[in-house]
Every structure is written in structure tokens, then in C-alpha cells.
Chains A and B, each alone.
Chain A
Amino acid sequence: MAIVVIMPKQGQSVESCIITDSKKKGDIVAKGDILFTYETDKASFEEVSPEDGVILECLYKEGDEVPVLNDMMVIGQPGEDYIALLGEPAPTQEPSGTAESNVQPVLAQIDETSHVPGTQAGDKLVFVSPRASNLAEKEALDPTRLAGSGPNGRVIEKDVLAVLESRPDMTPLARKMAAAEGLQPQAQGTGLAGTARAIDLKPVASAVSADDYEDKKLSNMRKLIAKAMYTSLQNSAQLTHHLGADARRIQELRKKVKKAMDAGTLTTNVTLNDMVCFAVIKALKQYPNVNSHFLGDNMRLFNKVHLGLAVDTDRGLMVPVVRKADDMSIIELANQFKEIANACRKGGIAPELLSSEAATFTVSNLGNYGVEIFTPVINLPQSAILGVNTIVPRPKDLGDGVYGFVPYIGLSLTYDHRALDGGEATRFLKQIAVEIENLELDIF
């Protein structure tokens, strides 16, 4: 019984494909042989024969553009009458006419070496062309472990050939063993003229054995953080300036706060972080270019300061936003911070407050942990982020040739050089220091 092979539909938007290589009328084909290769605007594919037989009719040739689901060729036995088959509506019972059977999706763990930049690590569908798959099987290779150079990382024959070229010839035993046990030969075989023997095989990932680790699925939260951080570093021009601010003023204020709380005249615990953030807001008001989103073609300068605060939780890093922080008093700010941080830790934070678009600037404080310098990563599309470090004593000229050790709080400003230049960023950072050193709180 003759079979009509149609041009498969590769994706919803594809209307026609171009034939790049094709068998001819009269060619004898075996099941699994490639009948023709064709291209969409994005990728190239191979169509394999569903049966043994002869190509009784081939309706298109190389270079032709064929509408999808159109009859392409007829396969059958010599002399069979196939005319009746043609011209009918696209057959639905076609065993190999669907897109799914054309490419063989294999679920595989992508290892580091084959990770394609810009794609998400972890479980991923690896597409292997039939040609590559056949060759890989014959040569005892696992094609899903190769870095695909085809469209969308598809593993094509060329990728398999490249590996084979760099690999020594293998004895029949070595081939069998490699295929059965997932082994690969070392670069130099010890057999005849460098042929790899069974003793030359080693596990593909020899660095670690399966007993040494446990694979853990990423939580959605982790995936989001991973994507956001990776995207940030890939898609912006970040750099960090470090500067210290004399912390005597805020330490003195902090003492006062403690005293006032002990005396009962103050009910809100205003922390050093609250004070630094308060100073940052003041500085941001003077540098509106920093309180911004960089959007590629334009900068969005905000009238209000929506301050993001990095919070460490059991589930991972969260950056909730205090909206209109510049309208708040230090007490209101301190209370807001406590509230959103608790909400994050408990999991009750409103999702819209976690979006990086919601904040205009972010503060990440690692001072509590004793970190002295770090380079925070910007939450795009924001233009900058401030890292707050621990307080360390530093020598300072106190005037009249007197030097003393003065507590300094470290400030690390990461900014997107696409949005800001070094001078402005430095002046902004310096302004924060000035605000910290001269902070006035009307709460006592």
C-alpha cells in the first residue's frame, strides 16, 4: 500500500517550508532513511521514511517552497497505482507526518559544558536530529550530552562528527562497553595505533561519582532569582564603587534611640539600616537620575522614591518595596520596613510589591553579617543598588595633627553604566555619606 508523505507543519506560524535536499523519484528507500530535509525561517529539519519502498512520485524538488500539509512524495512498491492517493485532503492517519515524530525530544540533564548561555539551566528538552541520533547510536555516544550547534541548540550530525573526530578509534569491545555503560575513551588509546581498548574507557563525567552528590529540583522562587540575577549581569553594564561614611553620627543616634526606648519615650526601634535608608532617600531626591529605570531607549525618572529592601528569607532573597518612601518620616519608614520584612518571611507579601519594576532603587544591607565590601547585583530595570556594609574603625585626621580611629560604614554602589556615568554615581554615593554623617532625626 503506497503512502503519501506530506510536508509537516513545524509550529503554528509556519505556512511553508523550503526543500534543501531530497530523494528523487525512483530512489529506493529503507525505513528510517532521510527522504528530504527542509527549512523554516528558524530551523532545519529532516523527514524520514516511514516504510521500506520506492519513491513512486516526488512532487517538489530542492529549492521549492512547499506549503505545509501538502503532499510531498509517494512511497510504495514499484508498479503500485498511487494516483488516487494524490490530491486528497491532507491525510490524518499519516504515521510520520506530524511534527512530533520528526524530531526526537529527549529529556536530559544538561551538563555545564553544553549549557547554552541565555538558556535556563536544569531540565531541558534536547532535540537530536535523526541523522545525528543514528550516528551517535552507532558510535556509542550519548547525543543528549553534546552541545548542539543546530537551530535552538538542536544536536545535528555535525556535532556528533566533531566529537568522533577528536576521539580515538575504538575496538568492538570498547564500543559495546561504552554504549552499555555510558563510558567514553580517553584521548589516547593503548591499543593498535592508538585505538581505544576497554581499559581506556572512563565515565563521561569522571570528576564526580553519583555517590558524591544529590540532585535537587529548583524551587520556582530559586528559578526566578536565578533568571533575574543572570539576566541582570548579562544585560547591563554594572560596576561598583566603594566609599566609607563616618558612622559616629548614626551610632550616636542609635544610642539615643535605645535610651529613648528604654525610657519609654520612643516605641519604634529605629535601626542603623533605617537611618541609612533615610539618608539614601534624601540623597536620591537630590539625584533624580539615580532614582530611575533604564529602559533601553529612554530613562524613566521617578517623582517618588519607591525603595526596595533586600530581605533574606528561608525561601530565598526577596526584595519588597516601600512605596513613596520619600513621603515618610523616619518612624513611618522604620515601621514599614519591619512590616514588609515580616510579611516576606511569613510569606504574606503582596506579589506586586516584589516586582523589580515596583522599586526605583534598592538597598541591600549585609552589615549585620560583618561583610566589609561586596558588589550587589542590580534589579533591572532599576539603574542602581546600594550595598551597605559593616562598620569598621578607620584612622582619620581629627585636625591639629591628631589621628584617631573612627567608625566607618562601608557603602557599595553598583550602578548601570548605561544609565549613569562614574562622576554622577560617585557624587550620589558621596551625598549618601554626607547625609549619613549629618543625619538629623526629630524623634527625641
Chain B
Amino acid sequence: MYDLLIIGGGPAGYVAAERAGHKGLNVVLFEKKSMGGVCLNEGCIPTKTLLYSAKTYHNALHGDKYGVYGDNIRFDFSKITARKDKVVKKLVAGVESKMKVNHVTVVKGEAMIQERGANGLEIKCDDKTYFGANLLVCTGSEAFLPPIPGLAEAGDVILTNREILALNEQPASLVIIGGGVIGMEFASFYNSLGTKVTVVEMLPEILGGLDFEISAMLRDMYTKKGLEFNLSAKVVRIEGNKVIFEKDGRTESVEGEKILVSVGRRAVTRGFGLENLNVELNRVGIKVDEKMRTNVPGVFAAGDVTGFSLLAHTASREGEVVVNNLTGRNDIMRYDAIPGVVYTNPEVAGVGLTEETAKAKGLAYRIAKLPMAFSGRFIAENEGGNGLCKVLVGEKYGEVLGVHMLGNPCSEMIYGACMAIEQEMTLEKMQEVVFPHPTVSEIFKETLFALQ
């Protein structure tokens, strides 16, 4: 009899297992593929590895801006992907060792939830039955393939995040359907390597949900780098290598050696016996409350399977909330200080309310914007570069409502803003915090003072 059964070894599952094991719970985790989930194997980590190669190549190519010259600068695509595989392998091993250290039993195989029996919750895996007092479902999500005519017939041309990471050769041209975070990161990578990339986005702007102004700035930057954008463009058909879309009432088409479909992800709620427990689902995934409890006592869900947020760091925190409540510490999930990052070059990072959401909520707010050039360090390291920092505070009390940035390395400094929002810090308190000089993070402090 286990204290906790966990299905899925992604950022929700393995973090929950690690924390629960550390607290002395008897935990078993089922993973059908490789520990680390989509994030480690087909998402966050491999893409960041690739993007760093691209960035290094880009910097080498443009070293002349910094007075550094190199000849015959080139890259080897197979070396880049080999390094990616090595990094993934290393990190998967790291997660596996964490499981061992925390006495988590890892079962490799497909788990199948049984009906609740006399011995509590029951999972069958490879003809063996496991009993547990609690169950955490974190089966994640998978790429959503929309019912576009011709998509299924296009065969190998069509890629999702999984297949594109497995490519052994660089495509000469790439059409990306969906200009969200995943689409833009692959666009960035292949654009840097010289592939002709075209983005087809249904909405009027890329990176839906992020700060509109920053998204537009990033799009301009990439347009200058040769990336082609088709906004407000609805894909109607795929004919082999051709993506046919309607835009401004006209039908246009774009051709690519490969076509990446990155229009969204779907929670995985089928195929592992969830229905045997009558767990309630909603439109996007498993329905949970603020403690990640489902409608069935003792059954929890965390991560992408809940269908919202869809971020690895959200998933990990959700897993921790489950374990905290199981081990006697009252904890709830808060979603208002979850950062969002896009690892393009330059990076985009934001947390809290955007101008658009603040307006939609009818909040009284003040806003300040400063170009990244207000940071000395940014100037020193980004020759000819540009960026933006935006801070929203409440009109009446000056609490930090939202922080949005464009410019390297904002992915590394956004957590400061997360802390401010999570703690409902006010302007005058934040202004007393000492930021290291010279760093790009000082742009946050400068913008806070611009709100005076």
C-alpha cells in the first residue's frame, strides 16, 4: 500500500514524487516513456539547448559589432542535435537519481487505473497491481492537430514539437502554423540557422496573451531578420508542402519543406483508466480546485492535464501543492504570479497583468515604460539592440500588478518581479530594494522610479 500513486513523470509528477519522498511518503511513479515528461524530452530543455547553439552561431556571425572577427563561421546541424540529445540524457539521468535519493519507486510502463476496491485506489501496470491511498494524475498534454483538410495526407511534411526535435537535417524552408511560444521559438532557431521561415498566425498578433506592444516589437525584430509573418491568416487547406490560408479576404499560399503545427496542446485524459473513477472533466482537462483536488476523494491532478496554464513551472508548483496538503501543510495554488517566458533572441518575459488584461478587468493602474537602453549593461552587451521594460502598478496603493520585458536576459530576471507580485509589494517598498550594478535587471528598478 503506497501513500501516493503518481501517473506521469513530467515536471508535475517528478517534482511531487521528489517532495513527497523527501517528506517520507511511500511513493510509486509510473512513466511510460522517459522521466522528465514533455518538458525535459520534447519541450523546454531540448529547445533551449538548440536555441543556445543558434545564439552562439548568431553572435559569432555578428562578432564584428563588438570588434571580434572570425572566418569561415559555420555550424554542424548534426552536432547541434547530438548535443541536445546529450543534454536531455544527462538531465533525465538527473531526475532518475533524484527519484532514487528520495526513495521513489519508479515503474516504467503504462499505468491503468482500476475501479476503487477494498484496498483503496488501484493501478495495474504490466500485470502487477499497485494500491495507494492517494493518486496524482499528471499525464500532461499532447500537440493538438486541428482538422485542416490535407493535413493527415501531408505525411512526413507535418511536424509537431516532437518530430521537429527529431529532425536530422536542417530543412531549407519551414512553414509554422501558429505563432505562439512554441512556434516562435522554433522560428527563432531555424531563422538563425538560415532556414526560410514563414509564420502563419490566425490572430492579429503573435504570442497571444503576452503584452501586445512587446509582441509587436519582437515581430518587427524578426521581420528585419528575414522571418515572414502572415497575421490574421486562417489556414484552410494543406496541399503537400503548401499551406493555403485566407487573409484579408484573399486566398494565399506558402510553401515549406516542412510544416510545423503548433496551434495548441490538449490534455491527455484518456487511455489510462481515468473514467473508472468517474473523475470529472471540464472543457480543457481534469477539473480541479485550488488544492488540485478532483471531484474524487484522494485523487489529484497537476500539470498540463488540467488544461490551463500549460507551463512546466506551474506544473511543478501544482505538484508541490498536492504534496503539501497531503503532508499536513495547508497550501493553495495561485496563478496570478506565474511568469511567462519566450526564449527567442531577444527573450520575452512577463508576469502578472498586461495592459490589456488590466483594462479588461477595469482596474485603475499606472504604467511606466523604459527602453532597455536605460541599462548600462544592456548597452554594453547588445550593440544596436533594443528592448523594453513595462511596469504596471495599482493606481491607489501602488502595488506591482505586472512586469513585462523584452531583451536579454530577461528570462533570468523576471523572478524578481514574480516575488514582487506574489507578495503584493508596493512601489515604495520595491524602490528600496538594492539591485546589483551593472546588470540588466536594473531596468526594473529604473522603471519603478519612472512611476513616481
Chain A positions within 8 Å of B, measured between CB atoms, are 171-174, 176-177, 180, 188, 190-192, 194-195, 197-198
Contacts and interface: CB of A to CB of B under 8 A. Distances in A.
A173 B397 contact: yes
Closest 10 CB pairs of A and B: A171-B424, A173-B424, A173-B399, A172-B426, A176-B397, A172-B429, A171-B423, A172-B425, A197-B424, A173-B397
Contacts of A180: 396-397
Contact of A172 (B330, B332, B423): B423
A171 B397 contact: no
B43 interface: no
A171 B421 CA distance: 10
A177 B424 CA distance: 11
A195 B423 contact: yes
5 contacts: A173-B426, A176-B399, A180-B396, A190-B334, A198-B424
A198 B332 contact: no
| Secondary structure of the B contact surface, majority rule | loop
Contacts of A192: 422-423
A194 B330 contact: yes
Given A190-B332, A197-B424, 6 more contacts: A171-B423, A173-B397, A173-B425, A173-B426, A188-B330, A191-B334
Contacts of A171: 423-425
Interface in B318-351: 330, 332, 334
Interface in B236-286: none
Given A172-B399, A173-B397, A191 B424 contact: yes
Interface residues of B, number: 13
Contacts of B330: 188, 194
Interface in B398-431: 399, 422-426, 429
B400 to A, nearest CB: 9
Nearest to B430: A172
Contact of B426 (A176, A190, A194, A195): A176
B429 A191 contact: no
A172 B400 CA distance: 11
Contact of B424 (A172, A188, A194): A172
B394 interface: yes
Contact of A191 (B399, B422, B426): B422
Given A172-B424, A191-B424, A177 B334 contact: no
A157 B108 CA distance: 61
A176 B422 CA distance: 16
Nearest to A195: B423
B401 to A, nearest CB: 10
B51 to A, nearest CB: 32
A169 to B, nearest CB: 10
Nearest to A198: B424
A168 B429 CA distance: 20
Contacts of A174: 424
A180 B399 CA distance: 14
Nearest to A174: B424
Interface string B419-452: 0001111100100000000000000000000000
Given A188-B330, A190-B332, A177 B423 contact: no
B422 A198 contact: no
Contacts of A194: 330
A190 B334 CA distance: 8
A436 to B, nearest CB: 68
Contact of B399 (A188, A190, A195, A198): A198
Contacts of B422: 191-192
Contacts of B394: 173
Contacts of B423: 171-172, 191-192, 195
B425 to A, nearest CB: 5
Contacts of B332: 190
A433 B55 CA distance: 108
Nearest to B397: A176
A160 B131 CA distance: 51
Contacts of A176: 397, 399, 426
